[in-house]
Structure 1
Amino acid sequence: MERPVHPFDLWSQETLRDFLPLYARMRREAPIARVLSPNQRAPLWVVSRYKDAVELLRDGRFTKDRYKLSEADRHRYFRVGEIGQLDKHMLNADPPAHTRLRALVAKAFTARQVEDLRPRITAIAQRLLEELPPEGSVDLLDAFAFPLPITVIAELLGVPVEDQDRFRAWTLTLLSPPAGGNLEPLRRTAMQFQQYLQDFLARRRADPRDDLTSALLAAEEQGDRLSPVELMSMVFLLIVAGHETTVNLIGNGVWALLHHPEQLERLRASPTLIDSAVEEILRYCGPVRHSTSRFALQDTEFRGQLIPAGEMIMAALLSANHDAEQFDAPERFDIAREPNRHIALGSGGHFCLGAPLARLEAVIALPLLLERLPRLRFAVEPSTLRWRSGLLIHGLERLPVAF
C-alpha cells in the first residue's frame, strides 16, 4: 500500500525566506514526514527534531551508497548518470569504503594542520578587503565570501586559482535543482568539470607538487587505496565542499549580524566573542539546510515510522538546530549562546571533514570585514533577498551591501 505524503512545501521561496514557521509545524505535527520531491516526484522522508536527526546521522542501517539500491530505485532518485563519474567520493560511501577514503585526506584537515593555514587565510582576506573601494556597494558574496575559501582550497589542492569562476559556475549548476526537470545543463556541466579534472590530474601525475592532490596521487600509486575515478571524485568533492560551506557561512553570518544590529555591536565591542558568534551563526542560519541523502535498503523502522525499502531519508539540520527541546529560546540569535551543541555540520561518521577549516576561515574573515567596513549595511531591502533553491545548501543568491 502506498504510504501518504505530507503537504509541507519545503521548496517555495516563502519557505526559503523564512523556514522557521514551517519547520516548527513539522516538528509539532509530523517530525518524520514523508514528502514528495517536486523534481523527481519521488518520496523523501524529512526528520525535523534534534534528537531524531542526531540518531539518523549515526544510524548505520541507512546507506549513503546509491549503487546499493535497485536499478529502479536508483533511477527514480538519480536520473541516468547526471554527474557522470564525479559521485564516487566519501560522502556517497559506507564503511569500510568511507573509512578508507576519509583517511586519505583527514590528515590535511586536522585542527593543527588547519591552524597552520591561519597566516595565509588572513593575508588572502586582507587583500580582498583592500581591493574594495573606500565607500560604495558590492555583492559581498562575489567580492569576499566566495574568493576567500575558493582561493584557500585551490592553493591547498594545487588547482589553478585563476579557474575559480569556472568552479563557482559549475558548482552552482550542480547543486541547484534542474529548472523544469531539464537535466541537460546538469549533465553538460558535469562533463565539463570531469574533463577539467582529468586534464588537471594528468598534469599533476607528470609534474607532482607540494600539494594535497600530489599527496593523493602518491597514495594511489602505493596500491589500490584510491582508484582513478575515486581520485577524481575526491578532488571534485574537496573543491565543491571546500568553498561552498564557507561561502554561505560567511554570507549567512553577515546577513544574521545585519538583521540583529545589537548583536553586531556586541561583537564589535567584544571581538573575543567571535568563536561563539561563529557557532551561533552555524546554529541559527547554517550553510547546510538538510543532510545529504540516506536510503533504506530494506523496510526499516525508525523512531516509530516504517521507512520502506529504497526510499530516501534526510535530516533537516536547520530545523533540528531550532528545536526548543534542545535549545533555550532557539528563535533568538545570541552570539554568546552557551551551551550550543548544534549539528550544522553533521554528526557521526560523516561529520564534515572540513569543519575546522570552515570555522577558521569565518573566525578570521568576519572580524576583518567588520573592522574594514565600520558602516556595513544592507544595500537593498532585506526582504527582497533571494535564497538558493534546493534542499542541501542554505545560502543567498546575492548579498548586496553598502559601506
Structure 2
Amino acid sequence: MRARSNGPAASEKRANRLYAAGAVLLAILPLAMVLANRSSPAVIGLAALAFLVGRFFEDRRTLAPRLLAPLGTPLGLAALGFLAWCLVSFAWTPFPGAALRLLGEFLPTLIAAYLLTCLAPGRIPAFAPRLAAGAIVLAGLIIAIDLASDLALERALGRRIAAFVHNRPALTLDLVAGPVALVLWRARARGLAFATLAFGALGVLRSISGAAQLGLLAGAGLFALTRLLPMRVGIGLAGIGLGLAVALAPVEGDLLAKLMPEAAHERLVQSSSRARVAIARSFGAAVAADPWRGAGFGTSARFAETPVAGTVAPEMRVLLRVGHPHNSFLQAWAELGLPGALLGALVLMLMLGRVAALKQPDRAAALGLIACAAAIAFVEHNGWAAWWTAGLGAAITWMREAATPHAATIPKMDGPA
C-alpha cells in the first residue's frame, strides 16, 4: 500500500505549486489585459488566492500577523481612515445602491491587491520575472501591430472596432514595466530588463492614450532625476507634485482656462483638452458649493442628479453628466469633500516617507511609479476602477519583490516564515 504523503514535505510541495500558479497569473497580467481589457481584477484575485493558500500551507501561524502588521503602521492606519470615510459617506449619498455596486467591484480588488503585495514578494519563482517580461513584450507588440493594421485583431475576434480598446492595456504597461525591469535588473538579466522597458514603451507610445503617454513621460522623468540628483530632491519633487495635485484639483479647470494657450488646445485636440477643462470647471464648481463632506462615495457617475448639482450655475451643470471628472484627485474632492482629500493627502505623504527609506535603484523606480500613476490619475479614468486598482497592485508587488530577499527553499513548516 502506498504511504500517504503528509507532513511538512507535502505542505511545502503544495505551497510551491500554488506560488508557481499565482506567479504565472501575476506575470501574464499585461497580456491578459490586451486580450480582454477588463480582466485584471479576476487575474489579480486568482493570483492573490493562490499566494494566500500557499502561505497557509507554508506556515498558517504567521499568516494573520503578516497581513495585519502593515495595517498598524501610520500608513496603514491612514489608508484605513480613508476607506472608513468612504463608508461614512454612504450616510448621505443619494444613490446608495449604485455606490454599493461600485464598492462591490472596488473593495474586493483592493483586498486582493493588498494580499498579493503582502504575500507574494519573496515567494515568486525565478521563472516568473522572465515570463512577465515576455508578456510585456508581446503586449507591446500586439498593441502596436493591431493599431497599425487598423485593428485587425479586434476584427478577427469580432469585438468592438475602436482604437481606445488598447488604452487600458497601455496604462497597465505603464505601471508594471518599470517594476518588472527592476526585478530583472536585480537578477542580472539586464538585456531582458531593457527589452521590457522598450516594448512596454512601444505599446504606450503607439496607443492613442494621452494619459498613458503622459504617465510614461512623468515616470521616466522623475526616475532619471532621482538617479542623478540627491535623494531629498527626488522626494521633495514628488511631495510637491502630489501636494499640488490634491490642493489644486478643485480649481484645476479655472486655472487651465486662464493659463492654457489656444495653441496648446490645438495640439491636444485628440485628447479633447477643451472638454476636459470644461469638465474640471464644472466639478470644481460643485466642490466649491459643498466642500466639507462631498456628494458621497461613487456618485460621480450620476453627479448631475445629486443635490449639490442643483446649486451649481446652470451652464456648469451640463458636463456633470459625463460620469467622472477625468481627475481622480478632483473626484475625491467631489465625492468625499475636505476630509477625504486630507486623508488621501496623508496617505500619499506617508507613502513617500516609506519610499525615502529605500535604497537605490529601488527608490528611483518607486518614485517613477508614483509619478507615472499620479500623472495618469490627474487626467484620466474613474479613481475607483477595479482594473486600475489591480494594475497598481501588480506594480507594487513587483516593486516589493525587487527589494525582498528570495528564499532558495521554503522555510520549514515548524518555524516562522
If each structure's helix is expressed as a fraction of its own residues, which one has the higher value?
2
The two structures have a TM-score, normalised by structure 1, of: 0.29
The two structures have a TM-score, normalised by structure 2, of: 0.28
If each structure's strand is expressed as a fraction of its own residues, which one has the higher value?
1
Larger-Rg structure: 2
